[in-house]
Amino acid sequence: MTFSKGAIEPRHADADIFVGWAGAPGVDRRFLLGLLPLGLAGLGGGAYAISAGLEDPGPGAWLTGATHEVEGVFARAPYPMLRLADASAPFGMRTALIVAEGKCTSALELDRLNGAPVRASGVLIRRRARSILEVPLTHTDWIETVAGPADGRLAAPPEVDLGTAALSGTIMDSKCFFGVMKPARGRTHKACAALCIRGGIPPSYWVRTPDGREAVLLMTDARGGPLSEEILPLVADPVRAEGRLVRVGDLIQFRADASAFRRREV
């Protein structure tokens, strides 16, 4: 093979060429250093635009910094809860739902305590006036009965029928929605919420009132019992249902069977 004279032109020794194991050529370094501020500014602006478009996760709080001790009357149905006497609260009581650590609240063996005055300790989870007491799953010393008769007003508060209502909203698990996770609603939380509700954590119906206020209703079936697992495919989706509103103590229940709920367009 022969080459004609001048077929291969020599390059200057200081010419910029790419060598994988060597430093970047000067022209590339200058280009990248000039582009870096613009790239960082673009990333920052994009992140701000995305975050500004997200919904406010709400006022939920998970108060893990302390263990709280409360006394009240334990109720097993429709979900484990403690009713506490509080003269400053609406209707003279505050209700704290009880959930276990993790997603296995249904594993708590509490039937023997139904209607008994108890003292319980755990971590509080709060969303506005609503409270949850998170307790250890593997220990039983978090709850004990106390001497004296149970306050009948707390053991069996009267049911007040508030009538029927057709409400649009979202079904969420109370534990995450009240503050354990943020965000804890919408499609991004669907799998987690379904697992929590399957594990016995009470479902909540998050709706907006006509004047724009947030309302969080405890969900039960049409008879006031725990909602069946048939509701799981609809968790975290926009839904609508007609049900009955019933106030029990300081909580308002939305009573409707799973079959009453339908997905809605948004």
What pLDDT tens digit does each residue of the chain (266 aa) get? 555 555 555 555 555 566 666 677 777 777 778 888 888 887 877 766 654 555 565 788 999 989 999 999 999 999 999 999 999 988 999 999 999 999 999 999 899 999 999 999 999 999 988 999 999 988 889 999 999 888 999 999 999 999 999 999 999 999 999 999 887 777 889 999 999 999 999 999 999 877 778 899 999 999 999 999 999 999 999 999 999 999 999 999 999 999 999 998 76
Architecture of domain 159-263: Beta Barrel (2.40)
Whether domain 60-155 has CATH 2.40.50: the reply is: yes
Q: How many CB atoms neighbour CB 44 within 10 A?
A: 10
- Using DSSP bridges, classify how beta strands 130-135 and 93-100 pair: parallel, antiparallel or unpaired: parallel
CA distance to 138, 234, 253, per residue, from 92 (Å): 33, 35, 18
The span from the CA of 158 to the CA of 5, in Å, is 107
Q: How many CB atoms neighbour CB 119 within 10 A?
A: 14
CA distance to 27, 83, 106, 177, 204, per residue, from 130 (Å): 62, 12, 21, 11, 11
Contact 150, 140 (CB under 8 A): no
- In the chain, CATH 2.40.50 sits at 60-155, 159-263
Contact 245, 253 (CB under 8 A): yes
Structure token pair of residue 83: 């009713």
The span from the CA of 66 to the CA of 96, in Å, is 17
Q: Is this model's pTM higher than 0.85 or not?
A: no
SS3 state of residue 10: coil
Model pLDDT, residue 190: 93
Beta strand segments in 193-261, E: 203-208, 214-220, 238-248, 251-255
Structure token pair of residue 48: 């701000």
- Phi then psi dihedrals of residue 263, to 5 deg: -65, 150
